[in-house]
Amino acid sequence: MILIISSYSDQSTNDVIDWLLYCGVPFIRINEEDKITNINIVINDILFDIEVTFFVKLIKKGIKVNSKQIEGYWYRRGKLNYDIEIGEVNKVFSQLKKNLELDKDSVVELIHTLLTTQSRSLGSYYKEARKNKFLDLLMAKKVGLKIPKTVLSGSKKYIKKNYESLKRALITKNIRYPINITTENIRIGDPGTVVIGSKDINVWKENFLPAKFQEKLEKLYELRIFFIKDKLFSMAIFSQKDEQTRVDFRNYNMSSPNRMIPYVLPLEIEDKIKQFIVNSELDSGSIDIVVTPNDEFIFLEVNPAGQFGFVSFSCNYYLEKHIAEFFTNLDDSFF
């Protein structure tokens, strides 16, 4: 049986499950919206045993799963929803509540980590939860990939100095996760990549919370590379000719979509990316690269739980089939 951790809204999970059903492979899917009601874990010198009971919100039914049933584990996205009923606490016991929350997080992380020891495992909750874009840039540089000049600062004076030395615009984007705040009356979403010029910098306060800034790259096209183990599936995105997508192709132009085609990486770049994947201890994810008019390949970032549906569809890669085959042992030679 294959255990899948995901979320209700993830279409790529549904697409992989279609292939598992076609191959007759049993699976259990736990979504982050499903509530974990009970956890039992045993660890000894020989083996470990996990028993998790969860309540499926969609069908209003409780299900128990034991690690002895699990032959493969796919962490797609989300987090196990183990919500301890602590109840109301007064100010005196507020610290106790914080400690219990930390204990809860440790239990969830332990489960994810133990499950990745399965012989067939893809994805990592730990890698996704702890990802650090700055450390990824350093890792990319270490293997010989070029990276954009990047500044982390909360000083107007320092940013202005770097802006003037580059003699080109800056861009800024989130340090780790996109902003997503929703209340009854308002919704604040992440703007994605934003271009910063001198007029913007001049109106800033002298000091602010540290933010991420990078030089704005001129691009010939962008690359989205999805990888499964050491197999790379590359796609070129021609976003530079559309004003709406020029800075960030995720500002999708639905009326006139960017051209997206399969792409063959130069062997030198492919080897460096594979070394980056090994050094980062990742087994799946998405890598973003910009190719400049001077044919320079500039590494931007890696997302351990990156989107792959549009790469699969646009390039006829059938990535969902490859992932299903990874867990069905139908195509070991592929890896």
- Could you read off the pLDDT tens digit of each residue along the chain, which spans 335 residues? 899 999 999 999 999 999 999 989 999 999 999 998 888 888 887 678 888 888 887 777 888 888 888 889 999 998 888 876 666 655 556 777 777 778 888 888 888 888 888 668 999 888 888 889 999 999 999 999 999 999 899 898 998 888 888 777 788 888 877 777 777 788 877 777 888 888 888 888 899 888 899 888 888 999 999 999 989 999 999 877 765 556 666 555 566 666 789 999 999 999 999 999 999 999 999 999 999 999 999 999 999 988 899 899 999 999 999 999 998 864 444 44
The token pair at 100 is: 């219990």
C-alpha span between 102 and 38 (Å, rounded): 17
Q: Are 35 and 57 in contact (CB under 8 A)?
A: yes
Ranges of beta strands (E only) in the chain are 2-6, 27-31, 35-43, 48-56, 61-66, 72-75, 120-122, 150-155, 170-173, 180-182, 187-189, 194-196, 207-215, 221-228, 231-238, 259-262, 284-291, 297-303
pLDDT of residue 334: 45
Query: Dihedrals φ, ψ of 254, to 5°?
Result: -70, -25
Sort 300 into a burial class: Cβ within 10 Å, 0-12 / 13-18 / 19+: buried
The token pair at 24 is: 């007759």
Return the axis-axis angle of helices 11-23 and 319-328, rounded to nearest 10°: 50
pLDDT of residue 48: 82
Using DSSP's 3-state secondary structure scheme, residue 10 falls into coil
Write the pLDDT tens digit of every residue in 33-48: 999 888 888 888 767 8
pLDDT of residue 262: 96
Residue with tokens 């990276």: 147
What is the pTM (predicted TM-score) of this model? Answer: 0.86
pLDDT of residue 315: 95
pLDDT of residue 244: 56
The dihedral through the CA atoms of 15, 21, 23, 25 has a sign that is: positive
pLDDT of residue 90: 57
C-alpha span between 136 and 286 (Å, rounded): 13
Q: Are 1 and 70 in contact (CB under 8 A)?
A: yes
State the DSSP code for 175. S
Smallest Cα–Cα separation from 312: which of 274, 262, 276, 275?
262
pLDDT of residue 252: 57
pLDDT of residue 333: 47
pLDDT of residue 73: 93
- The string over 62-75, giving b where at least 16 C-beta atoms fall within 10 Å of a residue's C-beta and e elsewhere, is eeebebeebbbbbb
Smallest Cα–Cα separation from 285: which of 211, 232, 220?
232
pLDDT of residue 89: 58
Name the helix (H) or strand (E) containing 292. Answer: none
